[in-house]
Chains A and B, each alone.
Chain A
Amino acid sequence: MALTRREFIKFTGLGLAASSMGMLGFGGSGVAQAAAVRPFKLTHATETRNTCTYCSVACGILIYSMGDRAKNALSNIIHIEGDPDHPVNRGTLCPKGSALLDIVHAPTRLKTPRYREPGGTEFKDVSWDFALDRIARLMKEDRDKHFIATNAAGTTVNRWTSTGMLAASASSSETAFLTWKVARSLGMVVFDNQARV
């Protein structure tokens, strides 16, 4: 089969996506049809610049969503591809980045706060207020009971060791800074991130 470079890239790109297209009912000639429809679909989409959420190469990506951000027009992400302007990835994505759309729309994305009571056998949907009120109460009870203001030598140490926190590795630095402020103002020292694993 003779392919130009451009066709080859298109072909292999489709190869990766073929499995999900199969699920959508595209088979055989349907793939070619889908390839023809794709550019038209994207012209109507809103383009947003973002960064791949996986490794630290931090490939530039373009996210295409339906909806023009008008009031009541809900955005729905329909396509994600590499940003050709980005100086590191120059438009390319790896097998993980190429499949970002599937993580955004994963069926196991969480949609409501859930709570499991002591000894319980299932999660129950709860309101945000219930969850956050209860978490704050549990944290305060523990902090008030176990906060260490001074050590055995009488030195002021103001630490809280009985509740700990792990911080996200894919959240923004801004989230990180706010998280740091909250954790340290509480005196938390059992505090770590994913740098090591």
Chain B
Amino acid sequence: MTNTWQDIRNANVVLVMGGNAAEAHPCGFKWVIEAKIENGAKLVVVDPRFTRTASVADYYAPIRPGTDIAFLSGVMRYLLEKDAIQHEYVRAYTNAGLIVKEGFDFQDGLFSGYNSETHSYDKSSWDYELDEQGFAKSDDSWQDPRCVINLLKRHVARYTPEMVSRITGTPQDKFLHICELFASTAAPDKAMTSLFALGWTQHTVGAQNIRAMAMIQLLLGNIGVAGGGMNALRGHSNIQGLTDVGLLSNQMPGYLTLPNDKETSFDEYMSTKLFKPLRPGQTSYWQNYRKFVVSLQKSLYGDAATQENNWAYDWLPKLDVPLYDIIRAFEMMNAGQMNGYICQGFNPLQAFPDRGKIRRGLSKLKFLVTMDPLDTETSRFWQDFGPQNPAKPAEIQTEVFQLPTTCFAEENGSLVNSARWLQWHWKAAEAPGEAMSDIWIMSGIFHRLRELYRKEGGAFPDPILNVSWKYTDPVAPDPEELAKDMNGRALVDITDPATGVTTKAGTLLDAFAQLRDDGTTAAGCWIFTGSFTEKGNQMARRDATDPREQGIAPNWAWAWPANRRILYNRASANLEGKAWNPKKPVIEWNGTRWVGIDVPDYGPTVKPSDGVGPFIMNAEGMGRLFARNLMAEGPFPEHYEPMESPVENVLHPKVNANPVARVFADDRSAFGNAKDFPYVATTYRLTEHFHFWTKHALINAILQPEEFVEIGEVLAKEKGIEQGGWVKVSSKRGEVVCKAYVTKRIKPLIVDGKPAHVIGVPLHWGFTGQARKGYGANTLTPSVGDANTQTPEFKAFLVNVEKTSAPVAA
């Protein structure tokens, strides 16, 4: 989230699209209700189902799963055509006026530079025209046909209300009414917030769904302001933290990227990360990248990371492919290229696409380790549970270790919430039986491995032998010590050249601005610097005071970066430094510095007249309506059909689906077509359940005891399916036999003149726990991901549904 949960109350329009906050994030959703009651906000919900969020909406519109970009591009067209944009903001704070290179083009569904053999782009034309000094050329009058705003107008011109309705199935009048509501927030003192979740990410075009909305928010001047922003409602208690700390194939802590094979030396790695400003005088904060990497290496390897060995650059693994994501991992497993897999608090047999493929992959492993408080399906993949998990144990040679761990109530530590707050929690009881913490288990495995390498030698032991492990209790490091590691400290006495203040060696640092690239500071996660200082554990702060009750609560816990609660908050003020919305200022210029209720996302004494843009992480200092070369599919979002779609792409039938999606051959052969599988399916959570955990909790298992699918009344009647009757739902990959919930909440949509039926598939079942045995939605879902992130396409795929009889009781 760019903003906080409580800040939602400041919105004038709340859009929930790509999520269902009332059911999946109920206690955060109360701030939407607060916005409605206290701020007169209008809640707009766009969703294939009439969800509980929709039931309290001021305006609801249905949409066919997987067509959000068509809808949002239509909105952009409307805003530009009606000139309903926040002019001063767009002109000064976005790249609308920057000029794009000759050679950049878009035709018949493809941007310039496409290679149809490699399914990828040469992106060299996706950039600005540069002047002699290397700065992007600009036309503030917006007359140049190649400036971003004009290219955008041209790009979205095809998304007329008729076309939007034809693709999405959303009736034109509903679409236009929503456009009008959005447009009302172009007024400088009005804001819209966008709340979304996996309904937008789990598509082959997921990242572009979000970009499309972010562009709308920039056009309306809604980024950086109170009640605005792009607010990703994250799904797990610390998935934000796991991402921040870089537990992803290609990441290092603090959003630094893991090197690849082409970056053969530290200098070469750094050469791609210099982030030279693209406009005069811009901050381009990533210029400090080297300080963050060197400080990370000092944290990891201590004295063994030196200038001479390039800060142990060779000890970092290098990637030969963009990502070893989960879809690739299970492809490798099925091809016999993987031998071991460790699942820490993770249940891939229920969570990953194409469950059959997951089971076959796990069966080929030499060993599988699960670490979990609960008895997961994954740890029992080898056991026969009937149709829900058919297995022949004698034929499966995998050694399986099921390791019991503590749960949240039995450990100290911090979790990062959706709003980037690091909140400390405390242990309330011992874990049951012999269960141990993940810290103890990981340390135990590590110490044993290190001992084996010391004694026996082996493949490249250097990083294993040299990793810094200076913890009071090396067997189970104290979470506070690990938190201090991430915060970082001075390694020698360091003096700030600007202030002359000296920080003593060993002192915990207050801010990432203190980090150095000469090996004199260490910090395991630079964005967390300031979270655990000499003043103590800032994450444990519990002062809920909230100036003007504006939803900032600056002294409650600690937010990254730098305890900043609203990202890009410089954009909450106009060019002179006065709040766009005088009733809800965030920061303002007082003549000598920026002051307000939040920590400025900007140089605290940089004058408004200096012309420094508010988007300080971007080299041009501006919000990007044109994404340069940063997205796989193109600098503008474009509508591509889901991999499995009931209709062809009416905009460009030859480029039907995402042209740069990575599809493995066996996965492609497991895609179904609309003839055999005529209905669109989409997966989601129920409010009574959390993934595959709460079926282990008695009350939740009673509240929602068994697997079902939601089917609209029209389709149910057509297929003779009764309320509560048994159905078989099948995709090219597998089938689920469960009960049907016949509902008024899903109605057929008219897509390109024909009715399209949507089937809802809740996620939560499996074969362990206290609820009744089920298959799990991933039995049906396709193994293909977003072209940028490889997030699997769970939200739009094809199935068939047939009436069937009750299974014989096992």
Taking Cβ atoms with an 8 Å cutoff, the residues of A that contact B are 16-17, 19-20, 23, 46, 48-60, 63, 65, 67, 74-77, 80, 82, 85-90, 92-100, 102-104, 106-121, 123, 128, 131-140, 142-144, 146-147, 149, 151, 153, 155-197
Q: Please indicate which of the listed interface residues A115, A167, A179, A197 has the most CB atoms of chain B within 10 Å of its own CB.
A: A197
User: Cβ of B270: which chain A residues have Cβ within 8 Å of it?
Assistant: none
User: Cβ of B485: which chain A residues have Cβ within 8 Å of it?
Assistant: 177
- Assess A192 versus B428: contact at CB under 8 Å? Given A103-B693, A110-B373, A117-B399: no
The 8 A CB mask of B230-265 against A (1 = contact, 0 = none) is 000111111111111111110011000010010010
Query: How far apart sit A65 and B418, CA to CA, in the bound complex (Å)?
Result: 28
B366 to A173, Cβ gap below 8 A? Answer: no
- Assess A179 versus B442: contact at CB under 8 Å? Given A173-B238, A174-B413, A185-B463: yes
Q: Output the nearest chain B residue to A132 by Cβ-Cβ distance.
A: B444
- Interface-facing stretch out of B70-78, B92-100, B615-623, B787-795: B787-795
User: Cβ of A90: which chain B residues have Cβ within 8 Å of it?
Assistant: 30
User: Cβ of A137: which chain B residues have Cβ within 8 Å of it?
Assistant: 452
Query: How far apart sit A104 and B790, CA to CA, in the bound complex (Å)?
Result: 33
Answer yes or no: B800 CB below 8 A from chain A CBs. Answer: no
B261 to A151, Cβ gap below 8 A? Answer: yes
Q: Which of B233, B414, B688 contacts A96 (CB 8 A)?
A: B688
User: Cβ of B351: which chain A residues have Cβ within 8 Å of it?
Assistant: 194, 197
Answer yes or no: B128 CB below 8 A from chain A CBs. Answer: no
Per the 8 Å Cβ criterion, residues 20-56 of B in contact with A are: 24-28, 30-31
Answer yes or no: B498 CB below 8 A from chain A CBs. Answer: no
Q: Could you pull out 23 A-B pairs where Cβ atoms are within 8 angstroms? A: A20-B698, A50-B409, A54-B693, A56-B238, A104-B407, A108-B770, A109-B373, A113-B434, A118-B398, A123-B400, A149-B459, A157-B317, A162-B338, A168-B242, A168-B345, A171-B344, A172-B411, A172-B412, A173-B416, A180-B247, A191-B324, A192-B248, A194-B236
B249 to A178, Cβ gap below 8 A? Answer: no
Answer yes or no: B810 CB below 8 A from chain A CBs. Answer: no
Q: Which of A93, A123, A168, A180 contacts B246 (CB 8 A)?
A: A180
User: Cβ of B395: which chain A residues have Cβ within 8 Å of it?
Assistant: 119
- Least Cβ distance of B507 to chain A in Å? 20
State the 4 A-B residue pairs at the shortest beta-carbon distance, nearest first: A111-B433, A168-B345, A172-B413, A110-B404
- Least Cβ distance of A34 to chain B in Å? 15
A188 to B237, Cβ gap below 8 A? Answer: no
Q: Output the nearest chain A residue to B426 by Cβ-Cβ distance.
A: A48
Query: How far apart sit A63 and B492, CA to CA, in the bound complex (Å)?
Result: 42
B318 to A182, Cβ gap below 8 A? Answer: no
User: Cβ of B791: which chain A residues have Cβ within 8 Å of it?
Assistant: 195-197
How big is the B interface, by class? 35 or more
A113 to B245, Cβ gap below 8 A? Answer: no
Query: How far apart sit A67 and B324, CA to CA, in the bound complex (Å)?
Result: 47
User: Cβ of A74: which chain B residues have Cβ within 8 Å of it?
Assistant: 429-430
Q: Which of A97, A104, A175 contacts B409 (CB 8 A)?
A: A104
- Assess A142 versus B324: contact at CB under 8 Å? Given A48-B427, A110-B374: no
- Least Cβ distance of A129 to chain B in Å? 9
User: Cβ of A157: which chain B residues have Cβ within 8 Å of it?
Assistant: 261, 317-318, 320
Other A-B pairs, 16, CB within 8 Å; known A162-B339, A185-B464: A87-B6, A92-B27, A103-B694, A113-B402, A113-B404, A119-B396, A121-B383, A131-B403, A167-B344, A168-B242, A170-B236, A175-B482, A177-B486, A194-B242, A196-B326, A196-B790
Query: How far apart sit A49 and B413, CA to CA, in the bound complex (Å)?
Result: 11
Q: Which of A85, A121, A143, A196 contacts B393 (CB 8 A)?
A: A121
- Assess A99 versus B697: contact at CB under 8 Å? Given A88-B28, A180-B246: yes
- Interface-facing stretch out of B183-191, B578-586, B699-707: B699-707
Q: Which of B237, B243, B258, B434 contacts A170 (CB 8 A)?
A: B237
Query: How far apart sit A146 and B457, CA to CA, in the bound complex (Å)?
Result: 15
Q: Output the nearest chain B residue to A106 by Cβ-Cβ distance.
A: B696
Query: How far apart sit A188 and B452, CA to CA, in the bound complex (Å)?
Result: 18
Q: Output the nearest chain A residue to B778 by Cβ-Cβ distance.
A: A197
User: Cβ of A151: which chain B residues have Cβ within 8 Å of it?
Assistant: 261, 320
Q: Output the nearest chain B residue to A190 by Cβ-Cβ distance.
A: B324
Query: How far apart sit A152 and B770, CA to CA, in the bound complex (Å)?
Result: 52
User: Cβ of A194: which chain B residues have Cβ within 8 Å of it?
Assistant: 235-236, 239, 242, 346, 351
Answer yes or no: B493 CB below 8 A from chain A CBs. Answer: no
Per the 8 Å Cβ criterion, residues 175-205 of B in contact with A are: 198, 201-202
User: Cβ of A138: which chain B residues have Cβ within 8 Å of it?
Assistant: 340, 366-367, 399
Q: Output the nearest chain B residue to A168 by Cβ-Cβ distance.
A: B345
Answer yes or no: B738 CB below 8 A from chain A CBs. Answer: no
Query: How far apart sit A161 and B329, CA to CA, in the bound complex (Å)?
Result: 9
Answer yes or no: B160 CB below 8 A from chain A CBs. Answer: no
Answer yes or no: B477 CB below 8 A from chain A CBs. Answer: yes
A58 to B418, Cβ gap below 8 A? Answer: yes
Q: Output the nearest chain A residue to B471 by Cβ-Cβ distance.
A: A178
B700 to A102, Cβ gap below 8 A? Answer: yes
Answer yes or no: B807 CB below 8 A from chain A CBs. Answer: no
Query: How far apart sit A95 and B702, CA to CA, in the bound complex (Å)?
Result: 12
A184 to B407, Cβ gap below 8 A? Answer: no
A87 to B242, Cβ gap below 8 A? Answer: no
Q: Output the nearest chain A residue to B418 by Cβ-Cβ distance.
A: A56
Q: Please indicate which of the listed interface residues A128, A140, A149, A194 has the most CB atoms of chain B within 10 Å of its own CB.
A: A194
Per the 8 Å Cβ criterion, residues 273-304 of B in contact with A are: 300
Q: Output the nearest chain A residue to B458 by Cβ-Cβ distance.
A: A144
Query: How far apart sit A63 and B202, CA to CA, in the bound complex (Å)?
Result: 35
User: Cβ of A107: which chain B residues have Cβ within 8 Å of it?
Assistant: 696, 770
Answer yes or no: B663 CB below 8 A from chain A CBs. Answer: no
Query: How far apart sit A162 and B732, CA to CA, in the bound complex (Å)?
Result: 29
Query: How far apart sit A174 and B458, CA to CA, in the bound complex (Å)?
Result: 29
Query: How far apart sit A118 and B393, CA to CA, in the bound complex (Å)?
Result: 8
A161 to B238, Cβ gap below 8 A? Answer: no
A163 to B409, Cβ gap below 8 A? Answer: no
A164 to B341, Cβ gap below 8 A? Answer: yes
- Least Cβ distance of B42 to chain A in Å? 23
User: Cβ of A97: which chain B residues have Cβ within 8 Å of it?
Assistant: 27
- Assess A164 versus B236: contact at CB under 8 Å? Given A119-B393, A172-B479: no
B399 to A180, Cβ gap below 8 A? Answer: no
Query: How far apart sit A53 and B319, CA to CA, in the bound complex (Å)?
Result: 33
Query: How far apart sit A88 and B329, CA to CA, in the bound complex (Å)?
Result: 38
Answer yes or no: B544 CB below 8 A from chain A CBs. Answer: yes
A51 to B415, Cβ gap below 8 A? Answer: yes
Query: How far apart sit A100 and B425, CA to CA, in the bound complex (Å)?
Result: 15
User: Cβ of B483: which chain A residues have Cβ within 8 Å of it?
Assistant: 173-174
A111 to B434, Cβ gap below 8 A? Answer: yes
- Assess A159 versus B428: contact at CB under 8 Å? Given A85-B544, A102-B698, A139-B445: no
Per the 8 Å Cβ criterion, residues 322-367 of B in contact with A are: 324-326, 328-329, 332, 337-346, 348, 351-352, 366-367
A93 to B27, Cβ gap below 8 A? Answer: yes
- Assess A95 versus B315: contact at CB under 8 Å? Given A136-B449, A173-B245: no
Q: Output the nearest chain B residue to A64 by Cβ-Cβ distance.
A: B428
Q: Output the nearest chain A residue to B781 by Cβ-Cβ distance.
A: A197
- Assess A156 versus B314: contact at CB under 8 Å? Given A108-B696, A178-B482: yes
- Assess A119 versus B394: contact at CB under 8 Å? Given A55-B237, A112-B404: yes
A56 to B698, Cβ gap below 8 A? Answer: no
User: Cβ of B459: which chain A residues have Cβ within 8 Å of it?
Assistant: 143-144, 147, 149
Query: How far apart sit A109 and B412, CA to CA, in the bound complex (Å)?
Result: 19
Q: Output the nearest chain B residue to A120 by Cβ-Cβ distance.
A: B393
B375 to A108, Cβ gap below 8 A? Answer: yes
Q: Output the nearest chain B residue to A170 by Cβ-Cβ distance.
A: B237
Per the 8 Å Cβ criterion, residues 134-185 of B in contact with A are: none
A165 to B341, Cβ gap below 8 A? Answer: yes
Q: Output the nearest chain B residue to A45 by Cβ-Cβ distance.
A: B428
Answer yes or no: B606 CB below 8 A from chain A CBs. Answer: no
A94 to B236, Cβ gap below 8 A? Answer: no
Query: How far apart sit A49 and B427, CA to CA, in the bound complex (Å)?
Result: 8
- Assess A51 versus B329: contact at CB under 8 Å? Given A110-B404, A159-B317, A188-B317: no
Query: How far apart sit A100 and B427, CA to CA, in the bound complex (Å)?
Result: 15
Q: Which of A65, A88, A193 contacts B27 (CB 8 A)?
A: A88
User: Cβ of B300: which chain A residues have Cβ within 8 Å of it?
Assistant: 181, 184-185
